[in-house]
Amino acid sequence: MAGVNVKSEIKPLKKVLLHRPGKELLNLTPNTLEELLFDDIPFLKVAQEEHDAFAKILRDNGVEVVYLEDLMAEVLDQKPELREQFLKQFIEEAGIRTDRYQKIIFDYLNDNYKDNKDLVMKTMEGINLTELHTDKSNSLVDLVSEASKMVVAPMPNLYFTRDPFAMIGNGVSINRMYSVTRNRETIYGEYIFKYHPDFEGTPEYYSRYNTFHIEGGDILNINDKVLAIGISQRTEPDAIDAIAKNIFESDSPIKTILAFNIPNSRAFMHLDTVFTQIDYDKFTVHPGILGPLTVFEITPDDNGGIKVKEMHDTLEDILEAYIGNPVELIPCGGGDRIAAEREQWNDGSNTLCIAPGTIVVYERNDVTNAVLKEKGLNVLEMPSAELSRGRGGPRCMSMPIWRED
């Protein structure tokens, strides 16, 4: 399974990319929660146990699990000449601007983390000023800084591997993230898709160096010919224009992109928090999206550009038109307003489909899960007391690399 192959949200999942939460969560503090996009501080030990249970569910169902940190370390192991380049790029993008500190941090990482896996994990974790043992008498900055200051911020959102990059058919979008705190996450994708022997040569439909924001949670593969992208808090219409042109100019079979205009709020953060496909004819859905929707159909024109047609219809009618069969929308919380709001907050409609009708869900969303079971779905529940504090569900925590056609 070299390369990538994802032309659906429901076909049997064979290979998936995860990141096991690490010490980056230990560098979350109450004062940095908002900046780092968390609402609370997860208990790392339990979060790791829950994540391991998630990985076990996937493996038990025939899915090969690969980890972001392992793939990045393998790149550096196989191409040692990239280590210095990666470190310098990481330090620059971490916002370290002075020559003095660039050298201090480079030497600290290079000398203390000889093993590439340890080095990668440390770049994810962040660096505290106390670790660097600098001579404070040489710097006003050091003298006025708090001893516990994070010189390099942690990347606690990394366990949501859906967002930094997205597989689209046999290609990849390496995204420009909405938040500064998440932009560095895509460095790992840049190296993996450029240099890892399993992925080098994968067509790139979007670059992390582009101007406009787009995130993987807004990208859904409806089928091999139709792609859905959310215009959301995290994805700009300019980015959708750009990725559409790149896809249409490639040899991708995708000929239609549907841009869903969803409310700009944290509750509707990405398209996959609004609806996800769970079977050939079934979707879980946020009840707040069931009214009339504005959707833009984007298709190629005859001159290398795009045509855009605005549509106003219900989600059900739009999905039926492009999927080609009747669909059933199953509301989070079973339609009960209070249950829906509570369980949507814990990603009740953010399910990961690993085969038609077989889905991984958070066990805490018991009202929604009971409805899904009544509908005949094979519901695989995972523990979620701590992982859910990051505001993302099983789909957010997984990046499918290969699904059977």
Q: How far is CA 183 from CA 150, 301, 343, in A?
A: 17, 33, 29
| d(C-alpha 41, C-alpha 37), whole Å | 11
Handedness of CA 214, 215, 218, 221 (dihedral sign): positive
CA atoms of 12 and 358, how far apart (whole Å)? 9
- For residues 138 and 142, give the distance between their C-alpha atoms in angstroms, rounded to a whole number: 8
Q: Is there a catalytic annotation at residue 332? A: no
Vertex 188, ends 185 and 189: CA angle to 5°?
95
3-state SS, residue 222: coil
Q: For helices 99-112 and 116-125, what crossing angle results, to 10°?
A: 140
In whole angstroms, what separates CA 18 from the centre of its chain? 10
**Helix H or strand E encompassing 256:** strand 256-261
Dist CA 219 CA 222 (whole Å): 9
User: 58, 167, 243, 396: which is the annotated catalytic residue?
Assistant: 396
Contact 361/388 with Cβ under 8 angstroms? no
Q: Which residues are catalytic?
A: 396
